[in-house]
Amino acid sequence: MSKTIPVVKDIMDANAQLAAQVRAKLDEAGVLALNLMASPGAGKTSVIIRTIEALKDEIRLAAIDGDVAAIDVERIAETGIPVTQINTGGSCHLDANMLWSALPSVDLESTELLLVENVGNLICPASFPLGTHYSVVIASVPEGDDKPYKYPTMFKGADVLLLNKVDMLAYEPFDVEYFRRGVEALNPGVAFFPISCRTGEGFDAWLDWVRAAVGRAVRDDDRRGRG
């Protein structure tokens, strides 16, 4: 008698269990973690670097980068914060096991905010929670305004949405209202920040959100008696 093994369900269940362990470890150390996701070229690394440069003197930061090459890791390292690379071996996403394996290389006791740069992809990363506290999706004007309609799972699961490269709105046929309607239909009330890494437009509002999120995490840590 043949038996069907639910491989996909087993993988998802195992990932969920490890994600819970990652979250527990981060919470125990009082570290807030952000999972930054986007398609290639949307500006994940640029957002991370500009965020680090703005906050590194007031928040203790570390980063983990998922990629097959060290180019982005080297760029992040130039900011002076600790950064670890997860070589994904060509995988289209990070998963909780990869992040769990990388955490020992991060000095969690000296970190308040951990920035995790996921693999450039708008499909697979949406299906593999990492145990981070917030999912940050970065879209960009040159990609087009139809991305929420094409990749609904990614946008539905976002806690924060950054629309990067808004300095190019004058040159690209991007309908911001059409884009927003698509997002709101999937994820009403999601925190939304139009930004430009090149000019700095909109970055203050994004940075204020990050500061507030870290502040909440610190207060929660204090209430647990680990602050």
pLDDT in tens, 33-49: 999 999 999 999 999 99
Rounded Cα distance between 126 and 93, Å, is 9
Extract the tokens encoding 110: 């000296």
Domain assignment present for residue 210? The answer is yes
Residue 222 has pLDDT above 70, yes or no: no
Domain assignment present for residue 117? The answer is yes
pTM for this predicted structure: 0.91
Output the pLDDT for position 8.
56
Domain assignment present for residue 89? The answer is yes
Residue 221 has pLDDT above 80, yes or no: no
What ranges make up the beta strands (E) of 69-177? 83-87, 113-117, 134-140, 160-164
Residue 26 has pLDDT above 90, yes or no: yes
Which CATH number covers residue 58?
3.40.50.300
Beta bridge partners of 134: 34
Output the pLDDT for position 90.
74
Output the pLDDT for position 6.
60
Residue 106 has pLDDT above 60, yes or no: yes
User: What are the tens digits of pLDDT across the range 159-175?
Assistant: 999 999 999 999 999 99
Rounded Cα distance between 5 and 48, Å, is 40
Domain assignment present for residue 121? The answer is yes
Domain assignment present for residue 159? The answer is no
- What is the span of the domain harbouring residue 96? 10-141+203-217
Work out how many domains the chain is built from and give that number: 1
CA angle, 78 then 116 then 164, to 5°:
80
Domain assignment present for residue 33? The answer is yes
Rounded Cα distance between 91 and 108, Å, is 26
Domain assignment present for residue 225? The answer is no
What band does 225 get if pLDDT is binned at 50, 70 and 90?
Answer: low
Output the pLDDT for position 226.
46
Instruction: Report the pLDDT averaged over residues 19-42.
Output: 97
Rounded Cα distance between 142 and 185, Å, is 22
Domain assignment present for residue 174? The answer is no
Residue 9 has pLDDT above 90, yes or no: no
